[in-house]
Amino acid sequence: MKGHTSRREFALEQEYPYSRVSPARWILSHVLRYPQLPLLMICASIVNNIAFGYIQVLVGRGFDRILHQGWAISDVAALALAIVASALTQGVTGLARNITVEFLAQRTERDSRAELYASLLGKSQTFHSRQRIGDIMARCTNDVRQLNYMFSPGVMLITDSTMATVIPIVMIGFLQPRLMLVPLCFVALLVLTVVDYNRRLKPPSMAQREHFAEMNTHLADSVAGIEVVKSNRGETREWKRFSDAARAFRDTYVRQGGIQAVYLPMLVFGAAWAGGFLHALLLWRAGTITLGQVVAFMGLVGTLRFPTFISLFSFNLVQLGLASAQRILSLIRVETSLDQNRGGESDRMEGRVVFQSVGFGYDGESVLRDVSFEVQPGETVAIVGRTGSGKTTLTRLVNRIFDVSEGKVLVDGIDVRSWSLESLRSQISVIEQDVFLFSRTIAQNISFGRPQATRAEIEEAARQAQAHEFVQALPEGYETVIGERGVTLSGGQRQRIAIARAFLTRPRILILDDSTSAIDSATEEEIQKAIRRISREQTTFLITHRLSQIRWADRILVLRRGRLVDQGRHADLLERSMDYRRIFAQYR
């Protein structure tokens, strides 16, 4: 990868060979994937503007022709046909230019969005835990879309306006070199005023992208948490927060409008047009040029109005595109401490897990300290402790959601950091209390970890999870599309879908993090029977406050403030562990 390398939990087989040194170089590296497109765009723009400029020259020749006595209709007809041919050439090349730049814009948007999405999939859980979903969505949608607008019409207009400036001036030089005086002075003043315009336009352009992300974040938070908002009568507060963010976003456009209102290049063009006309008339009076050349000159100077006027919009689009590229790059550049480790261990697990003096912490706070234990294949281990004791964090070290700060976590005698990350996680299944379901069919949600599963296998997993009956009762059964995050299902139904997903993958290590908290006792008993049946084939970690589950565990780990203070079976711990008795008393 050029310009920047990073560690990723996930990366596609074919890397994205883009330079990430700066937003401009990153965009340029995207463009250079399709070198024929910008080349074709430039060539089409050159021919297009030559054809348009030649029309002005032909009109001037027509004036000279009819000012002479004895002119023939055939001469004027030939000039008219030449003008038609130039106009057709202009139309065809303009179409080619527009199609080419649209292809370039769409491909750049597609490639940059794919790169950003692959980058987000490769970030660690720590990274995602600290991000605002609304801000990420703004960058993945609006900012990436802005790259499209940067090229079409932004870059296309800048390219075309550049040619529409250079080519007419060259043609003026062929008419009469002296006529170039005023246009060249105009170009010098145009460059100075546009550079100053861009300098003043950059801050509000960057602020627009930031305020849009802020507004989008407020919107995403309010909609995602609408139940909390309504239950706490927070509609007015949330409306005010969103309104303040929308007002700040609006103010950036007002600032931009103020800068665009004082647009000096158009004033400079007006002065140059008048000065050029005066200069041409003086040369005509002196006999240096013909009246037809005056007409052609004024037509060519008039074409300079397009690049002058269009720079008001085109450079703003480029500024917004560069600001968006900066925001996209800031996400892509973030490094993670984990990587795929493609060449790591990838054998089938037995399920033996060993913690050796493990310590872990983040944000400067220690969560686990000097934790050591060993779990044999097929063993069921319950983890108990008060809130904040490190139960969930301990299990997340097994599948490398986090990496240890001290010590080692071994699976089958191999450090988890030496395993291929894909192989490691494909053989470990986690079911959490806060179940996440996708806005897809129930069958697709159950088979998410094993897309090739047959319908019979999906239904069998659902039966073991006590989900088959309620799924069959839904309007479209297993083809029922559930709402975002599974909001159309009850908490217990979502947990049973997640348990069915875990049953289907047949993991070598199963982690249950309070995964039956929303399920009634009778249903839970049936699920526990299924878990006990398959637990002989896998190692199971169980985090729960249900005594019925703790009691049948082969071993119980007792955590207190990040330390493993005791371990053993239920009866033994009741006799010797004060910490366990306190926890047991709370659960009872």
271-322: per-residue pLDDT in tens?
A: 999 999 999 999 999 888 899 999 999 999 999 988 888 877 787 788 888 8
Residues 403 and 538 in one domain: yes
pLDDT band at 105 (very low <50, low <70, confident <90, very high): very high
Give the tens place of pLDDT for each residue, 147-157. 898 898 888 98
Indicate whether 359 and 310 sit together in one domain: no
- Residue 455 in this model has a pLDDT that exceeds 60: yes
- pLDDT band for position 1 (cuts 50, 70, 90): very low
Domain with 76, as residue range(s), is 23-332
Q: How far is CA 504 from the centre of its chain?
A: 31
pLDDT of residue 588: 58
Domain assignment present for residue 221? The answer is yes
Q: Is 18 a member of any domain?
A: no
pLDDT category at 37 given cuts 50, 70, 90 is: very high
Q: Flag whether 141 is in a domain.
A: yes
- Domain assignment present for residue 225? The answer is yes
267 Cβ neighbours under 8 A, 6+ residues apart: none
CA distances from 99 to 193, 204, 310, 448 (A): 31, 31, 19, 40
Q: What is the pLDDT of residue 183?
A: 92
- pLDDT, position 4: 42
Considering the domain architecture, whether residues 328 and 362 belong to the same structural domain is answered as no
**1 within some domain:** no
Among residues 303, 332, 361, the one where a domain terminates is: 332
| Residues 377 and 497 grouped into a single domain | yes
Same structural domain, 362 and 328: no
Domain count, the chain: 2
The torsion angles phi and psi of 362, rounded to 5 degrees, stand at -150, 155
* Predicted local confidence at residue 280, as pLDDT: 92
The reply to whether 307 and 413 lie within a common domain is no
Average pLDDT over residues 557-571: 90
Query: What is the percentage of the chain residues whose pLDDT exceeds 70?
Result: 88
Least confident residue range of 12-16, 218-222, 344-348, 496-500: 12-16
Contact 216, 249 (CB under 8 A): no
Q: What is the DSSP letter of 155?
A: I
**What local confidence, expressed as pLDDT, does residue 2 receive?**
42
286 with 366, same domain? no
In this structure, are 473 and 520 located in the same domain? yes
Task: Report yes or no: 566 and 577 within 8 Å, Cβ to Cβ.
Answer: yes
Please report, for the domain that includes residue 519, its CATH number. 3.40.50.300
Q: Which tokens sit at 342?
A: 């493609």
83-97, 202-216, 262-276: which is most confident? 83-97
Does 12 map to a domain?
A: no
* pLDDT given at position 163: 92
Beta strands in 137-277 (DSSP E): none
* Best-predicted range by mean pLDDT (90-104, 387-401, 548-562): 90-104
Q: Which residue has the higher pLDDT, 227 or 475?
A: 475
